[in-house]
Structure 1
Amino acid sequence: MNTIANNIADFLKEYAPFKYLSFDELAAIATNIRVLNLEVNKTLFKVDDPLHDVFYIVASGLVNLTVIVDAEENILNKCHEGGIFGLRPFFAKNNYTMTAKAREESILYAIPIVVFRPFVANNTDVLNFLLENFAVNTRNSKDKESLHNNQISDSVFYTGQTSEMQYFQTLSYNNNPITVSHSDTVQETAQLMAESKNTCAVICSNKIPLGIVTDSDMSSKIATGRFPVTTTIDKIMVYPVITVLENVSLAEAQLLMLKNNVSHLCVTQDGSDKSAVKGVISEHDLVVAQANNPGVLVKEIKRAHDVNDLKQIRFRLADLVQNSIQKNIPLTHVNNIASEITFALLKRAIELSILEWGSPPARFAWLSIGSQGRKEQLLPTDQDSILIFEDVTPEKYREVKDYFLNLASKTTDLLEGVGYEACPNGHMAKNILWCKSLTDWMKQYNNWINTPGEHSGDLSSIFFDYELVYGEQKIEDAISSTVFQNMENNTLFFDFLGNDALRKNSPLTFFKNFNVEEEGPHKDKFDIKTKALMPLIDGARLFTLSFKVKGINNTYIRFKQLAMVDPKHAETYLECAEAFLVLSKIRTLEGIKNDNSGQFVNLEELSKIDRDKLKNALAPMRKLEDLIKDKFQLTHFS
């Protein structure tokens, strides 16, 4: 082996995944490597460039990976010595999605994909490294948008925190594939593929896959004259087929194609090649799936121009939630992703309204309250919001408030068009009561907290579940300071909230049956929102405020935090946290099935296992109720 290749092999063995290979294997790779010198500010590839047949490792110097967002260059990662990048050719056929540019004079090793692919396929350590780092987080932490973005195939592979994004990408595929018999001719099969615009056909015997033929097989074996069109299809098929279960994740599908050097996967009943064919996953399906990942949705939201654009993305969010639930993705993860996309939709609606009404005359904060504020809105339920604008001189007050009322009216109407219904209780920023100055809002919270019984008609506890969507963080901080200052030793307020939390009807009857609706359009159905979820939501809020836990609105996370703050009752809090997840999932599935909010569950349609899960999830509520009575010395409404 020549000296240069020897030096390259010595270098590679210090870095994963190369360190998992033998020196002889590294030597074989090193002899095929090209050495590139990249001058300062020289671009190696840019967005939309055709893919190279190599990937790169930095031998010395610094290479930045960047994307353009809103006319600004955003650095996704800085690749120092040992950093690997440009891996997109392994996983996709479409062009580069980022730019690689030398930040200083750099030396790169260009490693041919075709040379490295066998080592990926044959070495589990190399494959596991790729899998663990497949959607590695390579974003700039200072760029808020990129916190939720996933550049899946151009990632720089360092050991680090693995992104969950790969599991949320909806993977749709052809569930009505062409199947033919081994005795069918190439010509007959080709005609079927052309007529149905399919890129492959599966050769089956009694629905069991024997092999597969793709359009590339047709090109390489028939168009070149190697076989006549009268040949039976089994003579040119590729076998055995690579089979998967239908719930395979995008990451797993991509890596299977990589490992086996195939362009199609066969979906079967049990995931083996001994069961019936259900569909085919193609490379094109994976490209489409990448276009539907959460990061891409957020980017599309930022570019949306009208309500129809946002509405289409809202539909795709619903698909993402449904797909993730059906794949048993943990509900906490689904909630995080769905909330970020929802907040991006809300923010864009405000931005579009500002474009129509002109620049705001004062700084302001738009806060989501209720389920949106708690980041628990997996289904298209109603919108709840308030608007707070900075204090202005008395002579400007009316003019400023009118502007924000118009802005809020436009925004809430737009969101209604997107699919978020208006709040039936009028808890929206376009309501004159809920659009006012910071001083007025501080007075409002003062009154609610210090005299809760006097004007309780307009007090809803959801006003204490708020999250900034758009505007000034300082305004939200001022409200939080007011809230927690006024709660200090305020037994009257906690008596009020505690009694309110205990006022809900019991979810079970005396005989431990479900307390269902007795009349009306939802007769005999169980109100899972009011009788099961709300007591948990109210209890979590009550204790969070009491223990001065700031900045956490989500019910599940509130209970988890309370278990640390109040370890004496940790068991009860943790049981409530898990119960909340179970109940939320049942409600979400009910909503998906009936295309509604999922509030009223048809118990007859639940399996016995799901009914038992529902009943078991109600058990911690009694403990929580007792804890509320004990903590706040309450006996009313019990």
Structure 2
Amino acid sequence: MDLNKTLRETEPFNRLPDDLFAEFSQAAILKTFPPDTPIFNQHDPPTGYLYVIKQGQVEIVVTTPGGGQMVVDDRKDGSFFGGTPVFTDEEYTAGARAVKATECYLIPAALLVKAARDFPHIAEYFTRAIFSRVRSLYSDMVAEHAENALVQMDAYPFKKRLSEIMSSPAEFCTPSTGVTEIARTLVKKGIGAILVCDDSRRPLGIITERDLVAKVLASDDPESFAATAAEVMTPDPRTMAPDTYMFEATTFMVQHKIRHLPVVDEGRLVGIVSLQELMKFRSQKSVLLMASIKEAGSVAELTAIKGEIIKIAKTLMSEARSQIETMEILSSLHHSILRRAFELVLEEMLRQGMSPPDIKYCFIIMGSGGRKEMLLDPDQDNGLIFENYPEDQDAAVEAFFVPFLEKLIATYAEIGYPRCKGGVMASNPFWRGRLKEWQAKVGRWVNTPEPQRVRYSTIFFDFMPLVGDPSLGQKLRRIVNREISRFPLFLHFMMNLDYKHKVPLNLLGRFSLEREEEHRGTLSLKQTGSIFIVDCIRMFMLEKQFYAPTTIERLDHLVKLKAFNSETAEHIKAAFEAFTYLRLRNEIALIEQGRSPSHYLDPYALTRAEQELLREAFRAASKLQDSTKRHFNVG
């Protein structure tokens, strides 16, 4: 990451003359921080530098009242941090910690102050509040919750990344290394596997003790002991990135029956983890839950596992981690349960002598499931894509998939995923079909955007392949983008439908509550809050013709495309996270009371601080709605 290039593309430096960039580059110091190392702590006096990340990852952390640490932001290549004290000379309001080995350019504060005399916008930028008001209120509330939480389950697997637990450097050899030398290395180092890499340390294969036994010791070929690494290795090993969480790696390795997992950063080998090391933590209920999904042999087991998810949610909330991360972790659990249930139903059909026709298909989930934004009690939103098989196969396809899908939807409901009240399920013929039939359907939605079709599209556009051939989902995604590019006015109709609903705040800042009997005296954190953020960000994504699964990933990409500035995006993220936090906490409380979880709550039952946070989050959502309306309005 070149310092000049980074500054030229980053606010507030992008309006400075060339001679200043040269001065910054000449004065900057390049410094490396080892993994899990504090760069500075909250309340430390200023170090006298602005930090620009050349390569690596830095977490911005604040200390909770109970003495723990809460991650409030994550910075990667090209980002900067530590700038506010340069102009205020006050202590750091948050700490910075290197997650992995990180190189930073350190720009002297004196040089920045000098530049700000001629270009005042620099000082104005850094003297703004680090976080928006909604972020500040949210951080205070989560910190208080973390201090008061009484959760006994260890959250270690959710806190640690592979960069923190992997063996590094990992042992590796070249493709021409002999098997005898490899065996000696394994014995000498006391390891169970060695990577085979090219000259750039890019993994080409992996050799385990089992490979040596099966392909050399147990071989009938007398020349086997003369074999090279290239001849006995298992090629193209599965890998993961160093910032992957431990729970993700554990689940992945159990599912794929992998004992050793190379850790790769930008294609280069940086470490290795073994399943044996990860399984040291199998005593923790959380990892047992993750691993047990794949091993579940009945619907009853999956039902019991789903009932345990609340414990994971409570653990994550007590650790004061980002609720966006919490939501993705819960979604990962739900996806695994849904996927395993699909397998169990398919196995039952096969036992009954019913086999699927020889065609490609892709089972998709939509809505919050497709966005990886599921909480504790999501309902079903799913569909099925078939390849364009010949018409004469219709009868065979229907004969298998009609009873299969009816059984699948009933199984999901039995496990605890309610049927969609709107019928958005693959058992409904409307939500399954060949690729060309989906194309025709999407074309009708986009080119004749009646209100009901627009409502369908808002659920459908977030689809994600869950089981089957994902290439069918990719083809359907391209169809969606192509249809919208042909008729961009559709986004105007989508915006109008969304804008008919407003956040539940009146002019005096009081909450507008539901009047219908079922939810009287409450408001919906989903339907009158987070949904506006989800819908608006989706519209911008569709306009820009890219795809990212989660709302936050979409927002981050829109910042890169300059559709939003970073400050606005931070405000939106904080509001979205606040809605998620309050909703998840409410769901947990209702379940513990023996009631069904819900996104409806009485805002006046919240503390004053929580009510103020909710108001600020609603205002942020409303402001996004207004800007989206201006952007997509016609005429």
Contact 2:339 2:467 (8 Å CA) reproduced: yes
Alignment of 1:398-417 (within 5 A): 398-417=395-414
Q: CA deviation at 1:449?
A: 1.2
Relative distance call for 1:134 and 1:521 in structure 2 (3 A) is: same
Which residue is equivalent to 2:97?
A: none
Post-superposition offset of 1:343: 1.2
SS at match of 1:366: strand
Task: Give the counterpart letter for 1:325 in structure 2.
Answer: M
Structure 2 counterparts to residues 315-394 of structure 1, below 5 A: 315-358=307-350, 359-361=355-357, 362-394=359-391
Query: Structure 1 residue 468: deviation in Å?
Result: 0.6
Task: Give, in angstroms, the shift of residue 406 of structure 1.
Answer: 1.8
TM-superposed deviation, 1:568: 5.1
Please give the alpha-carbon distance, in whole angstroms, between the structure 2 residues aligned to 1:460 and 1:511: 35
Tell me the secondary structure at the aligned position of residue 587 of structure 1.
helix
- Residue 213 (structure 1) aligns with: none
Q: Structure 1's 161 and 599: CA in aligned 2 closer, same or farther, altered over 3 A?
A: farther
Q: Which residue of 1 aligns with 2:286?
A: 292
Deviation at 1:64, TM superposition (A): 3.3
Change (3 A) 1:458 1:618: closer
Aligned partners of 1:386 and 1:435 also within 8 Å: yes
Q: Return the offset for 1:355.
A: 1.1
| 2:519 partner SS | coil
Shift of 1:162: 10
Paired position in structure 1 for 2:440:
443
Question: Deviation of residue 505 (structure 1)?
Answer: 2.7
The 2-side partners of 1:385 and 1:524 are apart by: 32
1:571 to 567, 571, 576: 567
Is the alpha carbon distance of 1:331 and 1:454 closer, same or farther for their aligned partners in structure 2, counting shifts above 3 Å?
closer
After superposition, the C-alpha distances for 1:354-397 in whole angstroms (9 at most, x for unaligned) are 11223321221000001111111121121110111122221221
Pick from 411, 427, 431: which aligns with 1:430?
427
In 1: Cα distance, 2:270 partner to 2:630 partner: 42
Q: How far off is 1:59 after superposition?
A: 7.6
Q: 1:36 maps to what in 2?
A: none
- 1:111-150 to structure 2, matched below 5 A, reads 145-146=252-253
- Determine the structure 2 residue equivalent to 1:562: 558
Q: Report if the CA contact (8 A) 2:247-2:290 is conserved.
A: no
Q: Tell me: CA distance 1:157–1:517, structure 2 relative to 1, closer, same or farther (3 Å).
A: closer
On the 8 A contact 1:533/1:580 being kept in 2, the answer is yes
> What corresponds to 1:465 in structure 2?
462
**In the alignment, does 2:616 pair up with 1:624?**
no
Aligned-partner Cα distance in 1 for 2:597–2:324: 19
Q: For 2:539 and 2:389, how far apart are their aligned partners in 1?
A: 34
CA distance in 2, matches of 1:134, 1:632: 40
> Which of 540, 549, 553 lines up with 1:553 in the alignment?
549
Partner residue in 1 for 2:64 = none
Letter of the aligned partner of 1:502 in structure 2?
A: Y
Q: Deviations over 1:526-557 (max 9, x none)?
A: 2111111111111111111111122x121122
Structure exhibiting the larger radius of gyration computed from Cα positions:
1
Report which stretch shifted further, 366-375 or 408-417: 408-417
- AA of the residue aligned to 2:549: N
Contact 1:349/1:415 (8 A) holds in 2:
yes
Deviations 1:266-299 (A, max 9, x none): xxxxxxxxxxxxxxxxx9xx7631x531xx4343
Where does residue 177 of structure 1 map in the other structure?
A: none
Q: CA deviation at 1:327?
A: 2.2
**SS at structure 2 position matched to 1:465:** coil
C-alpha distance in 2 between matches for 1:545 and 1:135? 29
Q: Given residue 607 of structure 1, which amino acid in structure 2 is its aligned partner?
A: T
CA distance in 2, matches of 1:363, 1:78: 35
> 1:147–1:541: structure 2 CA closer, same or farther, 3 Å change rule?
farther
Structure 1 residue 431: Cα displacement = 0.8
Go from structure 1 to structure 2 and tell me whether the alpha carbon gap of 1:338 and 1:139 turns closer, same or farther (over 3 Å shift). closer
Do structure 1's residue 589 and structure 2's residue 589 form an aligned pair?
A: no
- Contact 1:529/1:599, CA 8 A, preserved across alignment: yes
1:489, 1:135 → 2: CA distance? Answer: 39
How far apart in 2 are the matches of 1:606 and 1:395? 61
- Residue number in structure 1 paired with 2:415: 418
SS at 2:460 equivalent: helix
Using the alignment, how far apart are the partners of 2:381 and 2:263 within structure 1? 42
CA displacement at 1:156 relative to structure 2 = 9.5
CA drift of 1:562 comes to 1.4
1:609 equivalent in alignment to 2:595: no
The answer on whether the counterparts of 2:363 and 2:383 sit within 8 Å (CA) in structure 1 is: yes
Matched AA of 2:388: D
Check conservation: 1:412, 1:422, Cα contact below 8 A: yes
What amino acid does structure 2 have at the position aligned with 1:436? G
Q: Deviations over 1:208-247 (max 9, x none)?
A: xxxxxxxxxxxxxxxxxxxxxxxxxxxxxxxxxxxxxxxx
- Secondary structure of the residue aligned to 1:619 is helix
Using the TM superposition, give the Cα deviation of residue 41 of structure 1 relative to its aligned residue in structure 2, in angstroms.
12
SS of corresponding position for 1:521: helix
Checking the alignment, whether the CA contact within 8 Å between 1:63 and 1:79 is kept in structure 2 is: no
The structure carrying a bigger helix percent of its residues is: 2
Tell me the distance in 1 between the aligned counterparts of 2:569 and 2:312.
30
Match of 1:508 among 505, 514, 518: 505
Larger relative contact order (CA 8 Å, sep ≥ 6): 2
Tell me: CA distance 1:341–1:138, structure 2 relative to 1, closer, same or farther (3 Å). closer
1:529-544 equivalences under 5 Å are: 529-544=526-541
**Offset from partner CA, 1:447-479 (integer Å, 9 cap, x none):** 111111286387341110011100011110110
Q: Matched residues in 2 for 1:545 and 1:457: separation?
A: 14
Contact 2:445 2:454 in 1 (8 A): no
Summarize deviations over 1:293-351 as a string: whole Å, max 9, x none: 1xx43432222111111112112222111221122122122223222221111111111
CA distance in 1, matches of 2:256, 2:246: 9
Deviation readout 1:31-64 (Å, 9 max, x if unpaired): xxxxxxxx969999xxxxxxxxxxxx96858943
> What SS does structure 1 have at the residue aligned with 2:450?
coil
560-569 or 366-375: bigger deviation: 560-569
CA contact under 8 A between 2:604 and 2:611: conserved in structure 1? no
5+ residue gaps, structure 2: 1-34, 36-178, 198-207, 214-240
Q: Give the secondary-structure state (helix, strand or coil) at the position aligned to 1:387.
A: strand
Q: In structure 1, what is the Cα distance between the partners aligned to 2:242 and 2:522?
A: 45
Pairing 1:107-186 to 2, within 5 Å after superposition: 145-146=252-253
Q: Provide the C-alpha distance between the structure 2 equivalents of 1:138 and 1:455, rounded to a whole number of angstroms.
A: 43
Retained in 1: the 8 A contact 2:451–2:497? no
| Counterpart-to-counterpart distance in 2, 1:427 and 1:326 | 35
| TM-score with structure 2 setting the length | 0.57
**Any idea what SS the aligned residue of 2:521 has?**
coil
Change (3 A) 1:519 1:303: same
Letter in 2 for 1:533: S
Moved more, 467-476 or 334-343: 334-343
Distance in 1 (CA, whole Å) between partners of 2:272 and 2:323 is 16
Return the alpha-carbon distance in structure 2 between the equivalents of residues 434 and 499 of structure 1: 25
Q: Which amino acid aligns with 1:346?
A: L
Percent of paired sites with the same residue: 22
Distance 1:136 1:554 in 2: 17
Where does structure 1 lack aligned partners over 5 or more consecutive residues?
A: 1-15, 17-38, 45-56, 66-76, 81-98, 105-132, 165-250, 255-282
Matched with 2:297 is 305
| Secondary structure, counterpart of 1:380 in structure 2 | coil
3-state SS, counterpart of residue 459 of structure 1? helix
Task: Decide which of 489, 492, 504 is 1:492's aligned counterpart.
Answer: 489
Q: Partner of 1:288: helix, strand, or coil?
A: coil
Letter matched to residue 252 of structure 2 = E
What CA distance in whole angstroms lies between the structure 1 residues aligned with 2:244 and 2:450?
52
Per mean C-alpha deviation after superposition, the further-off stretch among 405-414 and 577-586 is 405-414
In the TM superposition, residue 588 of structure 1 has moved relative to its aligned partner by: 0.5
